[in-house]
Amino acid sequence: MRNRLLWLVPIALLCLALLAPAAVARPSYDHAVDQLFARGYPQALEHDLIAFGAAQSYLGLRSAGDPADNAAARYIAAELRRIGLRHVRLEPVPIDAWVFRSASLTVGEKTMRCAAFNAGRATPIMGLTAPVVYVHGGTAAEFDAAGDVFGKIVLLDQMFSSWWQMWPWAEATDRGAVGIIYTFNPDDPVYWAEPDALGVFSNEADSRFVPLVTLPRADGEWMRSKLETGDPVSATMTCDVRMTRWEDGGVGYNVTAELPGKQHRGEMVVLSAHHDTAGPGGIDDTGPCVNLLAMAKAMRMSHYRPQRTVKFLFTTGEEYGWDNSYYDWLVGAWWAVAHAHPHWGGRIAGQINLETMAQSDAVLSMVTSVDLARWSTNAAKANPGLLPNSYVVQTPVTSWDDEWPFTAAGVPAITLFASTPYYDSHWYHSQYDNAAIVDWGYLAKINKFAFRMERQLGGGLLPFDLKARAHDLASTVDADELTAAGVKPALAARLSGDVGAYVAACKAFAGRAVAIPTARYPMVNKELLRIEKLLLGQFTALDAWDKTIYPHQQVLWNIQYIDAAIAALDQASPDTAAALEAITGVDRNWIAVNFGRFAVHYNLRILSPDYDRLCFGEQAHLPPTIDLTLAYHRIEAGQVDEPLVSLEQARATQVPVLNARLRAMARVLEKTTPHIVRLR
């Protein structure tokens, strides 16, 4: 029999010879990445994408919906098609498209180049000329000290660590100023410390506010020195911008594409980055965009076939997208997951979002929810060679990156970024964020690390840490604390019991998860995705400082601060200082301490839960706004009785909201816990 089969040997050798070139031509994923970076593939993509913005203006930015950013979206789509991905689409996103062309400030014979904030208003074609008044940080008190600013241009120091520019901008508008010059403040050096950095940012303001330009640090110091002499200073300010609101046809584009998975259950892993920029965007966010394209190409070169379909998503409007909206950023990600694809929640095993990378010596930061924190840490520990500058895992998710709208839609998400404190303070959102500061070797390592994370999410038992989520929630629920705030005792007891049962169920599941048979993984994973969708979607909220919390927490804090103010006033010798301090902790009433009624009312309008331009704020479980401005000022004037009435009325509006939110949380836990108990 052995002799009769000898004729097969030459045929087998011939087949091996024919297959050998194919095997050699098919590199591993890591080798494919090395080849792409060695031959300059991502570097060429970076050059091309940055060129779109550079062709439009000297700032080099690609603001959502402007011709440069839309051209970048088409370029990315074309590259995805060349790579060979399926279902490549340009998906329209409603955008208040803002196009910057130029801005300047002229004083005497000196003309200074400026930038502007997204959605800022244009000046007349010939500019506007007026006296300049220095108002320091732009509080109401500082405007009062500067005198009448009606018909004048104000020079304003940035105070990013204290408040956003929208509040002094509103103050200047209300007082009749005709323009604002915004510049670096050495006492608050958060951004743009480079002497000639041209700063760009989203504004959370209204394009009907007075025109605003940003002046580099060196020119701002020169302006302050001119004004400090006491001699009159007149300036001509120009800002050439165009705005097309989405109601009038403003549009940007997300780009999506797919690498099909072996499984066909509709589940997927999302890999994302945003293609709009504030400045050239060398590492924020062109670097991540080209890394995502390099990932797609390396997957194809290595013939990688994922278990779950990999969805590539390039968003627009991460930096800015809507006018007259507080939550004017993250527009593309929010639109994708909450409007264009509301069915994604419960189907996505995880979103891996690439953001701001990669700078030499930068630690790799991973921002995620507690559900994925342990998994992220383990992934980093398993790949030390890919993280030469170490790593840090931060929880919870932040509202500054595209992972937040996904998390709030019920999708487990993580953002990876690698920038240094020096970048943040000197180069962020300026012309210095260019290709020259990208560490391409480090970017390639992050590429490989992100691929390993995707591969883990693509197969096996999903790594959601239900136990960590349970303990995190339990730390925010105290029956005595809730009862003291006005929660019905029966409800407080019900929720405490539900939380206890939830914690016990999650702890038990963590103990038996290792014993779940492989054959059961698909059904268990399907249930885990449903559980995550419900928990993340219902339990992800924002506080008054845009930090991620649970839906009941801001309402509870409001009541507690109001109680502290009432206690300070309702005594024989009222402690007005303590009452005033407590009021500043209620919602955003700190604004009333520093700014006038117009700024406060603008704040209340755009942060109201029923406001029609909330953007991703619609996902944030925002509580009803509270206006204690009048009470605050009456306490300052020595009054007690009327402020006490106002505080008690405000408290009365919050207690039903707190009870309603806790009931909703109880229902979620009562629905979720039985599913966790059955997981095995």
Identify the pLDDT of residue 263.
Answer: 83
Identify the pLDDT of residue 635.
Answer: 95
Residue 406: pLDDT above 70? yes
Q: Could you give the CA distance from residue 201 to residue 22 in angstroms, rounded to a whole number? A: 50
**In the chain, pLDDT over 70 holds for what percent of residues?**
96
DSSP codes of every residue in 378-397: HHHHH-GGG-TT-EEEE-S-
Strand order through the sheet with 234-244: 110-113, 97-107, 234-244, 128-134, 153-157, 179-183, 212-215
The closest of 232, 241, 223 to 152, measured between CA atoms, is: 232
Identify the pLDDT of residue 199.
Answer: 94
Identify the pLDDT of residue 5.
Answer: 38
Q: For 233-283, how does the pLDDT look when each residue is reduced to its tens digit (9 = 90+)?
A: 999 999 999 999 999 999 999 999 999 999 877 899 999 999 999 999 999
Identify the pLDDT of residue 540.
Answer: 98
**CATH of 48-96+248-458 among 3.30.470.10, 3.40.50.2300, 2.70.150.10, 3.40.630.10:** 3.40.630.10
**What's the mean per-residue pLDDT of the chain?**
94
The closest of 75, 76, 53, 51 to 63, measured between CA atoms, is: 53
Residue 7: pLDDT above 50? no
The mean pLDDT of 580-609, rounded to a whole number, is 92
Tokens 């010939």: give the residue.
126
Q: Could you give the CA distance from residue 426 to residue 430 in angstroms, rounded to a whole number? A: 8
**In the chain, pLDDT over 90 holds for what percent of residues?**
89
Instruction: Please give the CATH architecture assigned to the domain spanning 100-243.
Output: 3-Layer(bba) Sandwich (3.50)
What are the residues facing 86 on neighbouring strands? Answer: 258
Domain spans, the chain: 48-96+248-458, 100-243, 460-680
Identify the pLDDT of residue 23.
Answer: 46
Identify the pLDDT of residue 164.
Answer: 87
The mean pLDDT of 89-98, rounded to a whole number, is 97
Residues 6 or more apart whose CB falls under 8 angstroms from that of 555 comprise 623, 654, 657, 658, 661
Q: For 436-489, how does the pLDDT look when each residue is reduced to its tens digit (9 = 90+)?
A: 999 999 999 999 999 999 999 988 899 999 999 999 999 999 999 999 999 999
The mean pLDDT of 589-606, rounded to a whole number, is 90
> Which class for 633: exposed (0-12), middle (13-18), buried (19 or more C-beta within 10 A)?
middle
Identify the pLDDT of residue 71.
Answer: 97
Q: Which residue has the higher pLDDT, 168 or 13?
A: 168
The mean pLDDT of 571-598, rounded to a whole number, is 93
